[in-house]
Amino acid sequence: MHFTQREQQALRDAGVDQDTIEAASDAVVEATDDAAAELEAFFDGRETVYSDMDIAHSSSEIQEHTVEYCDLFTHADDIRGYLRFDTWGVPVEGGRVLSEEKVELSLGPTVHGRVRFAADEDAL
C-alpha cells in the first residue's frame, strides 16, 4: 500500500472507501513504475548525454557525459537506482521525464541535487 496508515485513516475519515484507497495506491505504484521505465529508456542506447550538472572544476554550464547504464528500481512512489558514466557513477533518488529529449534526476551523494539531462545540448 502506497499510503501510510495515517494517510489511509485520514482518507477513510474523509469518506473514501477502502476499495478506492487501494485503487489510488495501485495507480501511484503503476505511474511510478512507468516513470522509471521511461527514465531508463531515455538513457538506454544513448552513448552521450548532456546535463546542467554543477561540476566544481568546469567553466562550462553544460556538461557532456558518456553513459554506461541507468539501473532503476521502484518502491511505492520512490524511484531509486544508479546512473553509471564512463569513469564514475551516482545514486539516483528520484526523477521525472520532462519531454522526449529531456529528463530530470535527483542525484544522491557526490552531487546532492536535481540535474537535467538531455540528448542534445540545445534542449537544456
pLDDT tens per residue, range 115-124: 999 999 999 8
Which distant-in-sequence residues (6+ apart) come within 8 Å of 33 by Cβ?
74
* 59 pLDDT tier (thresholds 50, 70, 90): confident
Instruction: Look up the CATH number of the domain holding residue 87.
Output: 2.70.180
pLDDT at 104 > cutoff 70: yes
pLDDT of residue 61: 86
pLDDT at 94 > cutoff 90: yes
Which residue, among 121, 123, 122, has the nearest Cα to 48 in the 3D structure?
Answer: 121
- Number of domains present in the structure of the chain: 1
- The range of the structural domain enclosing residue 12 comes to 5-123
pLDDT of residue 57: 66
Q: What is the pTM of this model?
A: 0.87
Copy the grid coordinates of residue 61: 554550464
pLDDT at 54 > cutoff 90: no
List of E strands, 10-99: 48-51, 63-75, 78-85, 89-99
What is the DSSP secondary structure assignment for residue 1, as one 8-state letter?
A: -
Which residue, among 108, 91, 97, 82, has the nearest Cα to 34 in the 3D structure?
Answer: 97
User: CA-CA distance, 31 to 83, in Å (whole number)?
Assistant: 21
pLDDT of residue 3: 86
